[in-house]
Structure 1
Amino acid sequence: MDETWAEYLREVFLTPGFIPSDAHKAILQLDSRIIFTLNFDDIYERTANEAQPGSHIVKSYHDSDIPEFLRKDGRFIVKVHGSLNTPTKMIFTQEEYARSRTKNAAFYSCFEASLLTHSFFFVGVGYNDPDLSLLLENQSFLFDGGQPHYYLTSSDINADLIKSLRKNRNLKTIKYDKIDSQYSGLPACLSDLLELVENARRKLLETTNW
């Protein structure tokens, strides 16, 4: 890695001083215990810390104690591809993906366990990420008939791609109207989801059927 690479990445992702969007805030309000993020920046972490100081523990794929997010209480933000805090360990290339799956096998075992035991809701994730695609495809074919995960995307997604994601990665697509090129419709969609989530939680409290 070139010695200027870390400096360049920080200039791109940190120097502009990006502020949390309404979408970041809406995702936080969903109050998921575990958030897996493919982003290198710390915008979501800052969103969580500003709203609820000290409420979230941040882990990266290369941490030796990575199983904590599965075995301990609390809310976790897991950096699947690393972060700008340790630029030399950020995962960018196909080779880095392959090396990481071997070197950091403990993380991938935990990640796969999470995919088996939890329903994932993917927001703002590209469907062509090679690391994530491989994991989802492996589980889809290993555990045929398993419960699906959910992929939120704009309504202009191709119909054939929707079928492919369902067949090969066990992803059910949820479409929303992005409204414009800035995806202004996303926060409203997440707000609608939050209302449904809160209603479901109230029912759980009433029935105690965990």
Structure 2
Amino acid sequence: MMQENWPDPLVRDIARRRAIFVIGSGVSRHALGMDGITRPPVWKGFLNDAAKRFPRGPETEHIYNAIEHGDLLHACEWLKNRYDEDWTAYLRSRFVDPRYTPGKLHELIALLDTRVVFSLNFDDIYENKSREINEASQFTKNYSDPDVCEFLRNDARYVVKVHGNLASPATLIFTQEDYARARIKHSLFYSAFDAALMTHTFLFIGCGYGDPDVNLLLENQAFSADPNSINPHYFLTSDNISHDMKKSLRKNRNLKTLCYDKIDDNHSGLVSTIECLYSRVTEARSLLLENNNW
């Protein structure tokens, strides 16, 4: 994606802080552990690694099959049950113990300075970098916090942990059962999320279009209207998505697909793509200031 291909409405909404970023494991992957090699795992890779503790056989074949066919929520639930009391320690060994350092992508997202960022990640890599850049004006909220909805009307900056964080393992949303329980017990947060979808433009970064996260977060939103009559949300991906899939995402999720060239396995192309977006947004904000058109 070249700089000029960023949609003007998206650039405008980010410039006016009327946009919300949703960041997934593809963003965390741009961090490096203290060893200079280790990177946070994406969800499917994490499950594949976790499954290796249990040899593939008649009793575990369904877990491996679920991972291979994208049924990640059930695979995670079954693995969590098998790990039992070791589950939290394993999570921390993968997401906390390597002591990840934020990458350039985290810095750029923070510099874009949207007022609200929804993080699907358990780690605190992005919020640490954002707090460093935006100083003390940022609050981190979990979906389970009783006051989580204040991000809708307060003028502060927020990072909202959609799945919780590893400081409170009991509140993590990681399985089919966790999602179902959270939607009932913490319905206020999901109502606020739906409200945000109606009032802000969303940009999904580092998420897969087949991820249960994206589907579950958008499933309550009514997108039955003509997609040409309402402004879309945006989904940034490196995948070679077919034209039919792009049409389906627009029709069924109101997601307009934006593609970039990943360049290499570490998706360095995503960094240059967000650099282009940052340049566009900075220019747009300068014009807003010059014209006193805030």
TM-score range for the pair, normalised by the shorter chain length: over 0.9
1:1-210 to 2 correspondence within 5 Å? 2-144=84-226, 145-154=229-238, 156-210=240-294
Q: Which moved more, 1:135-144 or 1:88-97?
A: 135-144
CA distance in 2, matches of 1:89, 1:186: 31
Bigger shift: residues 59-68 or 124-133 = 124-133
- The higher radius of gyration belongs to 2
Residues 111, 133 of structure 2: 8 Å contact kept: no
CA distance in 2, matches of 1:6, 1:87: 7
- Alignment CA distance shift 1:132-1:177 (3 Å): closer
In the TM superposition, residue 199 of structure 1 has moved relative to its aligned partner by 1.6
Moved more, 140-149 or 111-120: 140-149
Give ranges in structure 1 of 5+ residues lacking alignment. Answer: none
Cα distance in 2 for residues equivalent to 1:22 and 1:3: 36
Structure 2 residue runs of 5 or longer lacking an equivalent are: 1-80
Q: Per chain length, whose mean CA-contact separation is higher, i.e. which structure has more relative contact order (CA < 8 Å, sep 6+)?
A: 2
- Compute the TM-score of the two structures, normalised by the length of structure 1: 0.93
CA contact (8 A) 1:48 1:55 kept: no
Which string of whole-angstrom CA distances, capped at 9 and with x for unpartnered residues, describes residues 24-73 of structure 1? 11111111100001000000011112333323100000000011111211
Please say which of residues 91-100 and 155-164 is displaced more in the overlay: 155-164
Q: How many positions carry a matched residue from both structures? A: 210
Taking structure 2 as the reference length, what is the TM-score of the superposition? 0.67
Q: How far has the Cα of 1:131 moved from its partner? A: 4.6
Q: Which amino acid aligns with 1:177?
A: D
* Segment of structure 1 superposing worse, 21-30 or 155-164: 155-164
Q: Aligned partners of 1:82, 1:162: CA distance in 2, in Å?
A: 30
> Are the aligned partners of 2:118 and 2:161 in contact in 1 as well (CA < 8 Å)?
yes
1:138-179 CA-to-partner distances (Å, cap 9, x unmatched) read 424255432100111115233332222111111111111110
3-state DSSP of counterpart to 2:118: strand
Contact 2:104-2:271 within 8 A present in 1 as well: yes
Q: CA RMSD in A?
A: 1.7
- What SS is found at the alignment partner of 1:35? strand
Provide closer, same or farther for how the CA distance between residues 143 and 81 of structure 1 changes in structure 2, counting only shifts above 3 A. farther
